[in-house]
Structure 1
Amino acid sequence: MKISDDIHNYYEKLVVQHFVKARFDDKYNEDFIADLTCVVLNQLPTRYIRHEVDMAFYLPPSERFEMESKVKKAIADALEFMHVN
């Protein structure tokens, strides 16, 4: 049995969105961002989805806000852990 390639952790998308918004690719090299991504995602719960539309239509705004807050905190904690200010 093979798990579908369509299945992914929604938190991955949120983390990448934050990195893009904060222009991390201008601040850090590719290896650092890869390590940072691992440290961040290891702090977050998993939220597996198959289709992005599932989250767009079925995620209450309060839960979306909570997920965004968790991502921001995890990124801040990971940067501190990796000694970046």
Structure 2
Amino acid sequence: MIQPEPVNARFVGGPLDGETHLLAHRLPFVQVPGPGETFFARLHVDAPDAPDHLVYALDGADDAETLVYRCRADAPGA
């Protein structure tokens, strides 16, 4: 079972560009919720089956407390 491990997440590109949010887990993928969904985001261990413009992948860290997530649609070579 995955244990909570809170971390700040800075988002680059896509609908969350420039935003920073506190996530409950340090998982490699973040999916923006669809219309009508009231939560902030879904966190995934594996890449979700969703359009690239709605998925962020872990792309490094600013520091020990802040991970950087880049929109897959905006990733180099996408």
The structure in which a higher percent of residues are helix is: 1
**What is the TM-score when the length of structure 2 is the normalising length?**
0.26
The structure in which a higher percent of residues are strand is: 2
- Tell which has more relative contact order, 1 or 2 (C-alpha 8 A, sep 6+): 1
Q: Which has the larger radius of gyration?
A: 1
